[in-house]
Amino acid sequence: MSAYEHHSFQLINTDNTIIYGDIRQPSEAGRYPIVLILHGFKSWKDWGFFPYVSEQMATAEYISVNISFSHCGVTPGSDFIDKVEEFSNGTVTQQIEDVINVITSIKLNSIEEIDLSSHWDGRIFIIGHSRGGAIAIIVASRIEGINGLALWAPIARFIRVSARQKELWINEGKFTFTDAQSKRELYIKKSYIDDIENNDNFDLIKASSMLTMPAIFLHGKQDMTVLAKESETLFDAIQHKNKKIEIIERTGHTFGINHPFISAGDVLNSIISKTATFFEIQ
């Protein structure tokens, strides 16, 4: 018998896009905290290590909720971004709304055919990787009821191009690049920049300074995608006394894991263990 039960779900947004998710909860009777898992840019709930992380957290006696953002551009079952137009319309605002939608549905116990009321102990923790870490920070700075954050290689700024690239992005109405996974051409519309520049609340340093819950940062020292300095900057901004940071030697942005997932290494297992232990003592 599995140590956890696995259920998939869908939530419909106001723009008729879909948040796909998986809930894994311990099989034994009892009450457990929820861990919401947020992926980063060019990723989705089934990318690489995310299902494994969800499984391990459920085994460690958490109810894990692993979601795909509604504009991730990935059809369930696909191994790459196949809905290019949907992906191009993604914004920070939309991702924040996705997370709040999921959290609200959890609190109202309104996720169809899944009853959490007899298993959830009322606590919610968030694991966010890369841009998912940044979204976790913004959400946690805005709403009550988040009991702790685990920020894995989080970004400290949402616009991640040079001034010249940003100018071209604005002038051309989109930023185009090649997806390393599928080798397909992807793009992000200018609406992504407009959304950020029209929202002062998307200042991640300021949002970090407003956090009122414990947070742990775990970042690879060899991360060339998001430099460890970004975690250090966010960490320094947090005023809450219960915070921790670890810069991990000899690993990069995805902790040695690619897609499709083959097996977890010592680094990923250590990161999962450190996260579960940090949440456990809160």
Q: Would you say residue 166 lies in a domain?
A: no
192 within some domain: no
Q: pLDDT value at position 200?
A: 85
Q: What is the pLDDT of residues 220-234, one digit of tens each?
A: 999 999 999 999 999
| Residue 238 included in any domain | yes
Supply the pLDDT for residue 110.
96
pLDDT of the residue at 13:
87
Q: Is pLDDT of 1 > 60?
A: no
What pLDDT band is residue 15 in, cutting at 50, 70 and 90?
confident
- Fill in the amino acid letter for 179: D
Q: What is the extent of the structural domain holding 39? A: 4-160+201-280
Q: How many structural domains are present in the chain?
A: 1
Give the burial class of 262: count Cβ atoms within 10 A of its Cβ; 0-12 exposed, 13-18 middle, 19 or more buried.
exposed
Distance CA 37, CA 217 (A): 15
pTM over 0.95: yes
Interior/surface letters 227-258, b for 16+ CB within 10 angstroms, e for the rest: bbebbebbbebbeeeebebebbeebbbbbbbe
Q: Using CA atoms, how far apart are residues 128 and 187, in angstroms rounded to an integer?
A: 23
Tens of pLDDT, residue by residue over 26-37, are: 999 999 999 999
Assess contact for 42 and 53: CB atoms under 8 A. Answer: no
The CATH number of whichever domain residue 73 belongs to comes to: 3.40.50.1820
199-210 pLDDT, tens digit per residue, is 988 999 999 999
Q: What is the mean pLDDT of residues 51-58?
A: 98
